[in-house]
Amino acid sequence: MSKMHITLTVNGTAVEGLAEPRTLLIHFLRETLRITGPHIGCETSHCGACTIDMNGKSVKSCTVFVGQAQGAEITTVEGLVNADGSLGVIQENFREHHGLQCGFCTPGMITRAHRFLQENPAPTEAEVRFGMAGNLCRCTGYQNIVKAILASAAQLNAAKEAAE
Amino acid sequence: MIPAGFEYHRPADLASAIGLLQDHGDEARVVAGGHSLIPMMKLRMTDLGHLVDLQDIGELRGIAIGAGHVTIGAMTSQHDLIADDRLAAVLPIIREASLQIADPQVRYMGTIGGNVANGDPGNDMPGLMQCLNASYDLAGPDGTRQVAARGFYQAAYFTAREDDEILTRIVIPVPAAGTGHAYVKQKRKIGDYATAAAAVLVGTTSASVAMTNLSDTPVWSEAAGKALAAGDTEGCVAAILAAIDPQEDMRGPVEFKRHVAAVVLRRAIDSALARRT
């Protein structure tokens, strides 16, 4: 199979590389582009550890071929830091509320939470749990992840109000 | 995890996509959201030489609400179905069912056309489409034909679609005002296919009932609908139990599935009756 020339915008930067059509987006990100925050936790599209933001959607990058992502705007956990390199609001709240232990699900969790809070800026606890249901965690029991996301929502909303 | 090699195509219009299917025969498959096909490819359960990506074909997207019918493009995602308030006003059962399918990430990508064309009895939309008496537009080299959802499913992964046809649109009659509806699904966890699920519509003089994942196809029963229309819930349940043919798997033995089927159906009937106005 001849390789395809793939161009993407990842975390605001135009990137390119060559890949066989069968290359999964997660492998292209990790192995070609060396963006190793998104992880691989399964081969059946359940765990969500590979979650990235693609064209404004939370996507499991293990279930997308590179060709399907051609030209896409992608955000990974690496792109969710503040401009000065400090932790973004959701990242900081995962730390503050102990929303991670081994850290393997965390990049997918945070990237999913980023999109979820844009769609539902003031969620209930039940909405957080349902909105995060495509992401599995083996360590935390989810409770502190929920707390981190609710705290992030409150903080983001307060910041938005202060700005208005 | 690692799929076998293939050639990737991204046609910009339907005619080109059909041309690719004609050129490559059963070596080619279309990919819509990719959330059934890619997992199968990763497990090497599907072997293909050519993948035809439909994402650039604009005419396959969108939801059109007409007076008597709703037309949904095959590439419309579950996320888009859920988000559409106009659709929820005329066919609220679609949002109710879509929210029970998979998880957020899968719903951004997975499409209604892929769900109904896949042919896996675990998919939820096929039974729902049979309940609603939807029909599918199939575009092929000789033009477009329409096949009723109730006649589309032949066996697990076998449907009325020919290899060189693409399911382009789903046309759903709008139920009469006041029709009660429910989609009730029993599952082990988020994202699981149903142990049993029931789609129910009940109006003042008519009713329609279909069930999911209790046979190698979805099951719509005319007798069950007639019984429910006559107010005979137990007759409706008996008719469905006579029509299903569940198989033992990790979701339980046959006897359990038959029990769950009846429970789920009664719950769906109660909910649909409560919503009838």
Check residue B133 and give its pLDDT.
98
Reported as a pLDDT band with limits 50, 70 and 90, residue A143 is: very high
Domain boundaries, chain B: 7-52, 60-173, 180-275
Same domain, residue pair A50 and A123:
no
Q: How far apart are CA A160 and CA A154, in angstroms?
A: 10
CATH code of the region B180-275? 3.30.390.50
CATH architecture of structural domain B7-52:
2-Layer Sandwich (3.30)
Identify each DSSP E strand in A20-113 by its residue range: 51-54, 57-60, 73-75
List pLDDT tens digits, range A56-101. Answer: 999 999 999 999 999 999 999 999 999 999 999 999 999 999 999 9
In the 8-state DSSP scheme, what is residue A32?
I
Q: B254-275 and B233-243 are packed helices; what angle lies between their axes, rounded to 10 degrees? A: 140
Distance of CA B19 to the CA centre of its chain: 26
ipTM for the assembly: 0.97
Question: Under a CB-based contact definition with an 8 Å cutoff, are residues B33 and B77 in contact?
Answer: yes
Residue in B1, B53, B105 closest to A68 by CB? B53
B104–A4: do the CB atoms touch at under 8 Å? no
Same domain, residue pair A114 and A143:
yes
Contacts of A126 in chain B (CB under 8 A): none
- Does the global pTM surpass 0.90? yes
pLDDT less than 50: residues of chain B: none
Query: Which of A79, A103, A133 finishes a domain?
Result: A79
Check residue B47 and give its pLDDT.
84
Which chain B residue is nearest to residue A131, measuring alpha carbons? B104
Same domain, residue pair A113 and A71:
no
Q: What is the fold, at CATH topology level, of the domain defined by B60-173?
A: 3.30.465
Same domain, residue pair A75 and A92:
no
Counting the structural domains of chain A, the total is 2
Same domain, residue pair A90 and A158:
yes
Choose from A58, A110, A114 for mutation: most chain B CBs within 10 A.
A58
Reported as a pLDDT band with limits 50, 70 and 90, residue A1 is: low
Tokens of B109: 């990508």
Q: The domain that contains A124 carries what CATH number? A: 1.10.150.120
Query: Which of A32, A49, A79 finishes a domain?
Result: A79
Q: Is A117 on the interface with B (CB under 8 A)?
A: no
Q: The domain that contains A20 carries what CATH number? A: 3.10.20.30
Tokens of A88: 């973004």
The residue segments making up the domain with residue A67 are 4-79
